[in-house]
Structure 1
């Protein structure tokens, strides 16, 4: 999968019309509110205008992100401090939050690929009773990882233990976030996929071991000046390896933006907030900086898409315009994508929304 520069052009540039005063917001985080550790200019002032002067938001807002390295409560605490408004954990929808709905998976032995010391505890918080992570495999079956020559020499036996750990066989896979040591993760994921979780012999006749991948993003915007690889890039690298070794395509159930399941979950949360505020939303605006994720997700799920120019998308000529047509960052996508609205930053859009 090749990434090319986004060719940015504005079509049908028009002033924004008057917007609805009864609205809800689905707001991306990275590249819209913050970039790395820095709060993006205009953001704090914008959210102050959405609050009652005491830090309480006066309109329903869900922060919808394809990030997942912290719990909803921890992310809410971080954003509350950065934006100087009160944000609760139930206003945060992380990329893996919709896994709470996959109740038929919760009793299975599930391998969670990803990084972070809290990966297991996060999985349990989401409802999974028997999560397994790579450090468990390294401890119990160390010889699986012989890509490193040093590791190969240090280990004495290349055979499986007489008895596999109690958490075997693995009954499903969740790629929860972007792994750090891609080589070891790819090796073990292929082992699981090719043996249907048994680690005994290749099983090409049976159906594939179920796999859920959180976050289709290929890239994301950090403080570095160029896009950085995201979880979707890891899955796109795994897929052709599996196809070459198994003779069939990798079957993936995606969650995260722009998938329907994630937007359904976020919209339900938004409606619950509106009800608690005694409001009925006539419009919902999905705000983000990623054309392929935020704009496509909002468009596909019947929302007003809002593109801001503070993250992956850059266009200094945009202030407040309608019908902004851009090219996808993915080389395989040739059709232009149109955002309903565009603004230089989220603060500018909030100003007009309230104006």
Structure 2
């Protein structure tokens, strides 16, 4: 991972994220979701919440009992919160609108942070990566070409998906022929062909962005490995440096190949099935296993050079806290604000939600406490990362946190 580049990406993205969302929302509308209708000076909380979505608020798009009531209680009491998810695949405005409809509760776009939100800054570039606005990027994952549209809304102008490549060259992964009708619905012509005679005229990638959980693992993995084994990201080529013992990483990814970014590390996620399902982290593990089998792997001194963002990484939690502080300041803009002393992270995944909150070191002086719920990935036993407390669901989590913070208006059941 490249922490400095990603950290800068998160900082700059927050400016764009906040400007584009908050500036378009009138003050009364923004405050509606957080403040009571009282004309008296509000009791300004010195704490806030961060909620995971899948397995905490929703499960397979269906509301988890008590989720709407929990968020409604916070809105009624004027307590800020954000939705911090390793999910994605849709633009933030679209995603928050869907969640609002499903929970039947008004939510501002400013409260949601998705796993691929940091990718937006790569349009303008970072310390580790030059601007990608006009470069050709391979976008992987998600339903149809939904992630392509997200990338284009972020500002990427030249986006290609593995489905585009497959429809132009079906032989690149013949086992996807059964999905031909699926890809026909959204595939676009390639900006350049795969030209093995004149590589300088061939399709070339400058970055690989895994936006969301891949659907066609075989095709996606094959295309990514082709890119990583290529010379300078040129499709149809193979680098002459691959396998050279006199070069770092045995020559792999040492010949101008594009960087690869993963938007989240989650091995498991909570779906409609009663047991957790493999997520993007499962795809990455499969890719790394195939990469190791191809290159010799760690036993030969070879790694897959990559950047992973999302929970539980420090940079994602830093971004989340800054977003909370910015939202809090705007909500109570006419009041004297004290410090944000505590943030309650409510999640169902010990390896991401709880690990991230427990490991996070705030630069603003806040203490993050983790609350693990039993409504998603975690169903019992000793979790790998020990939370501050374990409760049945998100409503119990909010009630516990309000009581812990000695919030005066909480009612005992």
| TM-score, scaled to structure 2 | 0.69
- Which of 59-68 and 245-254 deviates more? 245-254
Indicate whether 1:124 and 2:152 are aligned. yes
Instruction: Provide the alpha-carbon RMSD of the alignment.
Output: 2.5
Once the two structures are TM-superposed, the CA of residue 43 in structure 1 deviates from its matched residue by 1.5
Once the two structures are TM-superposed, the CA of residue 98 in structure 1 deviates from its matched residue by 1.4
Partner of 2:341: 282
Give me the whole-angstrom Cα distance separating, in 1, the residues matched to 2:198 and 2:165.
13
Structure 1, gaps ≥5 residues long:
1-19, 152-158, 316-324, 329-336
Give me the whole-angstrom Cα distance separating, in 2, the residues matched to 1:35 and 1:235.
23
Indicate whether 1:298 and 2:298 are aligned. no
Indicate whether 1:349 and 2:401 are aligned. no
Which structure 2 residues correspond to residues 18-29 of structure 1 after superposition, within 5 A?
Answer: 21-29=45-53
Give me the whole-angstrom Cα distance separating, in 2, the residues matched to 1:166 and 1:69.
31
SS of the residue corresponding to residue 75 of structure 2 reads: coil
Cα deviations across residues 242-274 of structure 1 (Å, max 9, x unaligned)?
122234211120011111222222222111111
- Which of 65-74 and 283-292 deviates more? 65-74
CA contact 1:35–1:221 (8 Å) conserved in 2: yes
Distance 1:84 1:138, change over 3 A: same
CA contact 1:113–1:133 (8 Å) conserved in 2: yes
Match of 2:172 among 141, 144, 163: 144
SS of the residue corresponding to residue 314 of structure 1 reads: coil
Give the structure with the higher percent strand: 1
Q: Which has the higher contact order (CA 8 A, sep 6+)?
A: 1
SS of the residue corresponding to residue 318 of structure 2 reads: helix
- Which of 208-217 and 74-83 deviates more? 74-83
Give the structure with the higher percent helix: 2
Indicate whether 1:91 and 2:122 are aligned. no
CA contact 1:46–1:346 (8 Å) conserved in 2: yes
| TM-score, scaled to structure 1 | 0.80
Once the two structures are TM-superposed, the CA of residue 146 in structure 1 deviates from its matched residue by 2.9
Cα deviations across residues 31-72 of structure 1 (Å, max 9, x unaligned)?
0011113211121222221123xxxx7222110111112221
Once the two structures are TM-superposed, the CA of residue 149 in structure 1 deviates from its matched residue by 8.3
Once the two structures are TM-superposed, the CA of residue 202 in structure 1 deviates from its matched residue by 2.0
Match of 1:185 among 211, 214, 220: 220
Q: How many residues align?
A: 308
